[in-house]
Structure 1
Amino acid sequence: MPPYHEMTPSTNKQLFQEFPSVDWNTWKAKAVTDLRDTPYERIMWTTPDGFTLEPWYASGNAVTLPGQQEPKQRNIWRNCRRIKVSDTGKANREALDSLLSQEVTALEFHLGAPQLCQNESLCELLQGINIPAAAIYFSGAVTDQVSLLETLATLPGFIENSGGLLSETPETLPEKENRLFSAADAMPGFRFLAVDTVPWHEQGATPSQEIALALAAASDLLNRFTSADIEPGRIVGAMEIIMAAGSSHFTELAKPRAFRKLFRHIAAAYGAEKTLLPRLFARTSPRNLSLLDPFTNVLRQTTETVSAVLGGYDTLQITPFDGGLSVSESDAERISGNIHLILKEESCLHRVADPAAGSYYLETLTAELAKAAWNVFLELEAAGGFASAIQSGLVKQKITEGNTAKRKTLENRKKTLIGVNRYPWPLTPVQEKNIAALQQAIQSAPEGSETAGFERLRLKAETRRITSGFQPSVFIWLSGDPGISFRQAAFADDFFRCGGFAVTGMTQLDPDEKSCAKALENNPDIVVLCIAEKDPVPTAETICRTLCALKPGIIPVMAGKPPEQKELLLTAGLDSFIHTGVNVLDMLQSYHLKTGVQ
């Protein structure tokens, strides 16, 4: 039998010719009709960077950046493993194991002490590694970059290495600037001018701010080294830009594309060829990792990896999804490493170069992101450049402004983080055993962590339960239309579990004293009323008065927005209302205080 492709007749016809083309105005008119009373703006997306995107783009409303297409002709990325180095022998064994069993093609050695940069330590660290075949990166305690580069150049095979230094270059005297480049001349493929935007990402920077900070830092490097009479093309060729890949898939895919488009303007301003670009190094985001529901991190890292691969990063580092407090470090390392293998070997993402090119939506997102980033870059330049903007506090101010808005969307749950502010999973026996270490780990979360607020709160309740046996509890009372009251109850159940509360019961009851006694059988701290009636006030008022009489100190809460006669309920003993849009984190903290958790 002949191969399948020989049996398939070829055709020059365009696909889907039987369907008429639809312009954007026609599509929007149909969408507005179908939305009925819902405003069209409800399906538009205002990004964290402040610009708004339509739900659909066609040739009539798409925006593209001028200039040539992406220079990458193939989508090949390097899979990098980060190894912490305190014991060179142990780190060497980890490196060899990674190269042999996980298709790791790049290694980052995070050095724990300056003496590890010496010749003897480096030889032991690199023993048995095929140095020309694996890109070797160094970070951590690299205090003298010139000496390290000079030492590396003497090691067998290292002149062919294509790794780099991931520690940023400190300010030095002009004569040492030239010595830095002279030391690296023997290793033309080794990058040693790092621009690391991950710390800004950890503090809460938006994607456009990350791009702008990368551009500003690169501009400062070009200004600094061209002033030392170093050719601009050589400077660009020594750069490695390090960025975090977050879980907002399309934005993170567009981020490296926007950076490359904008960097050409920076390079041209200093006289370098527009085709020259820094190498891009991606790390999966540390900002959204869940400590208490770590397996959701695997899913986050998968979307982040896809974004990084399709966005065109040259090197990718997938952080282990857990630090050893829920699963073993080796298991976490292996599972996270398999993300790369599946996306390459099974999904074959490496076979498509720049798949975003030509997509009206992604080209528009790239263009809008680039515009927002360029505006921030111009502000930084007007402030005197990257270093001056940091010293003046401008960078911190801009990140704080964006981070405040972002925290609000997390705290009122307009943005969902599975296992954190929605759908929490019970602690495992391993986590309960490691509860003290989890408490310590959450305290060292990044400043811009999206998960720490809720998980810190929940850990307080879980720690109290494990150490003293006390866990605040909630009973959920349903009344009225079951279809509506059940939805209210599901909201309340999810709401309180995110704060570490136990839900001891959820029952449809009549508003009488016998039912109130049943609701209090398990001695709950809080009773949530889910009353789906046209006028819920009379029923809720009766229940509140009876509950408070039977158990002084009980905390009645009502699911739903406050009715017009809410004062009657508050007078009857109702504590508060929970509903979509409230600050969930603040309210859970108040319930912790009222129930004695803290």
Structure 2
Amino acid sequence: MTVLPDDGLSLAAEFPDATHEQWQHLVAGVLRKSGKEVSRDEAEDALSTALEDGLRARPLYTADDTAPEPGLPGFAPYVRGGRAEGNTVGGWDVRQRHTVADPGAVLTDLENGVTSLWLAVGESTGIPVPELDRVLDGVLLDLAPVMLDPGDEADRAARRLLRLYKERGVADEAARGNLGADPLGHEARTGRTFDFAPVAELARLCADRYPGLRALTVDALPYHEAGGSAAQELGCSLATGVAYLRELTAAGLSVEQACAQLEFRYAATDDQFLTIAKLRAARRLWARVAEVCGAAAAGAQKQHAVTSPVMMARRDPWVNMLRTTVAALAAGVGGADSVTVLPFDDALGLPNAFARRIARNTSTILIEESHLSRVIDPAGGSWYVERLTDELAHAGWEFFRTIEQAGGQAAALRDGTVRSRLAGTWAARSAKLARRKEPVTGVSEFPDLAEKPVVREPAPEQASGGLPRVRIDDAFEALRARSDAHLAATGSRPRIFLAALGPAAAHTARLTFASNLFQAGGIEPVTEGTFEESGARDVCLCSSDTLYGEQAEAVAETLRAAGAEQVFLAGRPGSYAGVDSYVFAGCDAVAVLSAALDRMGVS
């Protein structure tokens, strides 16, 4: 054994190792000092964070938090990546979405970092099929893969693209991309079905002649956009993939050929660790499906990650740049093969050139400047990520089993199983959003009523008729829209006077809190001058608990005598005479603000 010389940096070598139990004991002591009595065993739970799907993020993970062996990159169960080299060769595929026939925007993207195109196709929901030739004019189709999102025009759009390859002299083996057929995803979006037979023919054609083309996409975005959790997104994608395997093998393809025709699309959110774990768990689950089907060697899942439309806010949309950056980072770390960063103004209409530039440069910075793609599975070995991957995989598998027990994905869509389960998840999350337990910067936290709205040209209408589409700002956006309409009709916003009691040290914190809360509903806070000069009919008292006890009732009586119709108090509910309502951290802000607008006559 080699004995290293003493370098004077022994650190804690002379002390005994600390135990988990000792750490729990210290945590319990700190919590007791804060007024929370817990036992040593309860201390860790008290600091845990509840996630969706019954999962919890604990404050400390150690080597004792075991998870199944993730394997090696490029080998089953593919947790660490579907390819042995990962994204280390050139980074991930930077894929940008286009919904209108704009050849100039397409070429600009390709000339400035984009490596593949994602084209929404449809007469009213995207690029008309006959326009594909013009949109792809000047594009080197043997170098730039094309992915279609064709809705119910899958066969027509695919045939047009294949004909274009032939006309431009692209060899069959050089054509790369995805024809994008997704019958069940289309049904989830629209409630309408279409025949699978043409899709099976396309898959057979790709298997026989176009080795670089896939025929089908398993799109989990409809379930994510309907408010589904990460596990529900995984479960629906597995059930859809299995349904396609059944259809394709029934049409004569081998299981290996059928697996090779599928590409999976997932949402990447600004919850970076959950996104990383979701992509890793998705590969593990699909590897298990392929193994059970007798095609273990074909179990490497092809993944396309898209920054979440649900997290994109319409107010203060510049913050979306930060959200998409975190999401893109998580997608890259999670091992996605392709990443689409939606422009920051995507929720407002057609993105302008600046927004598209920022979107594509987000991936470029992460790949070229942050060197994120130089490491295979950067999160691998993290006790937290490995455990979260395992727990999420089990939760996703359970939801997959629920769908299979309902008769499969098609049956679960048609009998309402999927809709009801997603709605339940969204209702629970909506309650957190309404109480600002899940803050949304620029919307429920730190809104700016004076900000000039960002206006964009309308985008093509989105497919509808099936599962709903939700956004995290929906409830607050409805309140702000009422305020905007009132401003347009009367020349001013609804107002509330914030009455600060005592010195700044006593009232600043709650004054700031109340100002943010009321602005989140489009109600303008007035802090200068007197109540009579404010033009408001409602008032909110802001101060410390001590001063409330001394002054709140008297001040409320004075304000009512001056014409105040509703008196709020910023603080926990009490029994102060003259106070009608209380606003505090954790209150149902949406309910409070909606009721306030109703009383103010804001329709």
Q: Does the C-alpha gap of structure 1 residues 537 and 424 become closer, same or farther in structure 2, counting only changes over 3 Å?
A: same
Segment of structure 1 superposing worse, 189-198 or 150-159: 150-159
Q: Structure 1, unaligned stretches of length 5 or more?
A: 1-10, 508-517
Q: Does the aligned pair in 2 maintain the 1:482–1:532 contact within 8 Å?
A: no
* 1:80 equivalenced with 2:95 (yes/no): yes
- Structure 2: gaps of 5 or more residues: 75-82, 184-192
Aligned position for 2:332: 309
* Counterpart residue number, 2:535: 523
Q: 1:63 to 1:525 in 2, by over 3 A?
A: farther
The alignment partner of 1:414 has SS state of coil
State which of 453, 460, 472 in structure 2 corresponds to 1:450. Answer: 472
After TM superposition, the structure 1 = structure 2 runs for residues 15-94 of structure 1, keeping only pairs within 5 Å, are: 18-19=11-12, 22-36=18-32, 37-38=35-36, 39=38, 40=43, 41-60=45-64, 62-66=65-69, 68-71=71-74, 72=83, 73-75=85-87, 76-85=91-100, 87=101, 91-94=102-105
- Corresponding residue SS for 1:185: helix
After the TM superposition, which residues 418-429 of structure 1 pair with which residues of structure 2 at under 5 Å, given as runs? 418-429=441-452
Counterpart residue number, 2:180: 166
1:582 to 563, 569, 587: 587
In structure 1, distance between residues paired with 2:115 and 2:147: 11
Separation in 2 of the partners of 1:491 and 1:175? 58
CA contact (8 A) 1:24 1:57 kept: no
Q: Which residue number corresponds to residue 541 of structure 1?
A: 553
Q: 1:275 to 1:34 in 2, by over 3 A?
A: farther
Matched ranges for 1:333-412 at <5 A: 333-412=356-435
Distance 1:413 1:536 in 2: 24
SS state of the match for residue 104, structure 1? Answer: coil
Find the aligned partners of 2:6 and 2:373 in 1 and give their Cα distance: 28
CA distance in structure 1 between the aligned counterparts of 2:131 and 2:198, rounded to whole angstroms: 28
Letter in 2 for 1:376: F
Contact 1:472–1:525, Cα closer than 8 Å, also in 2: no
Residue 205 of structure 2 is matched in structure 1 by 182
Q: Residue deviations 1:161-198, cap 9 Å, x none?
A: 32112341476466973564135522111111111111
* Corresponding residue SS for 2:120: strand
AA matched with 1:18: L
Is the contact between residue 150 and residue 183 of structure 1 (CA under 8 Å) also seen in structure 2? Answer: no
Query: Match for 1:318: what amino acid?
Result: V
- Select which of 136, 139, 143 maps to 1:126: 136
Rate the CA distance shift 1:357–1:520 in 2: closer, same or farther, 3 A: same
1:432-451 to 2 correspondences below 5 Å:
447-451=469-473
Q: How does 1:87-486 map to 2 (within 5 A)?
A: 87=101, 91-100=102-111, 102-113=112-123, 121-140=131-150, 142-144=153-155, 147-148=159-160, 150-151=162-163, 154-155=166-167, 156-157=169-170, 159=172, 160-169=174-183, 172=195, 177-178=200-201, 180-274=203-297, 276-323=299-346, 329-429=352-452, 431=454, 447-480=469-502, 482-486=504-508
Distance 1:543 1:435 in 2: 47
Distance 2:198 2:118 in 1: 29
Question: Bigger shift: 323-332 or 492-501?
Answer: 323-332
Q: What is the CA distance between 1:506 and its match in structure 2?
A: 5.5
SS where residue 107 of structure 1 aligns? strand
Cα distance in 2 for partners of 1:435, 1:471 equals: 24
> Counterpart amino acid of 1:24?
H
One-letter identity of the residue aligned with 1:52: R
Does the CA-based 8 Å contact 1:166-1:196 persist in structure 2? no
Q: What are the within-5 Å matches in structure 2 for residues 534-573 of structure 1?
A: 534=546, 536-537=548-549, 539-551=551-563, 554-563=565-574, 565-566=575-576, 569=577, 572=578
For the 8 Å contact 1:481–1:533, the answer to whether it is kept is no
**What are the Cα deviations for residues 208-246 of structure 1, in whole angstroms up to 9, with x where unaligned?**
110111111111111122222311111111111111111
Aligned length: 560
**Does the CA-based 8 Å contact 2:133-2:164 persist in structure 1?**
no
Percentage of matched positions with identical amino acids:
27
Distance 1:292 1:437, change over 3 A: farther
Task: Classify the secondary structure of the residue corresponding to 2:501.
Answer: strand
Cα offset for 1:148? 4.4
How far apart are 1:376 and its partner, in Å?
0.8
Q: 1:16 to 1:282 in 2, by over 3 A?
A: farther
User: In structure 2, what is the Cα distance between the partners aligned to 1:77 and 1:239?
Assistant: 18
* Cα pair distance change 1:375/1:250, threshold 3 Å: same
Code of the aligned partner of 1:35: L
* 2:136 counterpart letter in structure 1: L
**Normalised by the size of structure 2, how large is the TM-score?**
0.85
Question: 1:296: how far off?
Answer: 0.4
CA deviation map 1:360-379 (0-9, x unaligned): 01001101111111111111
SS of equivalent to 1:521: helix
- Distance (whole Å) between structure 2 residues aligned to residue 15 and residue 404 of structure 1: 58
1:541 is paired with a residue whose SS is helix
User: Secondary structure of the equivalent of 1:520?
Assistant: helix
Deviation of 1:15 (Å): 13
The Cα offsets for residues 281-333 of structure 1, whole Å up to 9 and x where unpaired, read as: 11111111111201000000000000100001111111111149699711111
Question: Kindly tell me: are residues 133 and 149 of structure 1, through their superposed partners in 2, closer, same or farther at Cα, counting changes over 3 Å?
Answer: closer
**Residues 357 and 173 of structure 1, relative CA distance in 2, 3 Å threshold:** closer
CA distance in 2, matches of 1:263, 1:446: 27
Q: For residue 512 of structure 1, what is the aligned residue in structure 2?
A: none
Assess if the C-alpha contact under 8 Å between 2:248 and 2:258 holds in 1. yes
Q: Counterpart in 2 of 1:494?
A: 516
RMSD over aligned Cα atoms: 3.1
In 2, the alpha carbon distance for the partners of 1:395 and 1:257 equals 23
The CA distance in 2 between the partners of 1:13 and 1:370, in whole Å, is 46
Cα displacement (A) at 1:16: 8.1
- The residue aligned with 1:513 is none
The Cα of 1:65 is off from its aligned counterpart by 2.5
- Decide whether aligned partners of structure 1 residues 360 and 173 sit closer, same or farther in structure 2, where only a CA change above 3 A counts: closer
Distance in 1 separating the partners of 2:258 and 2:161: 16
Shifted more, 539-548 versus 150-159: the winner is 150-159
Displacement of 1:123 in angstroms is 3.9
How far did residue 394 of structure 1 move?
0.8
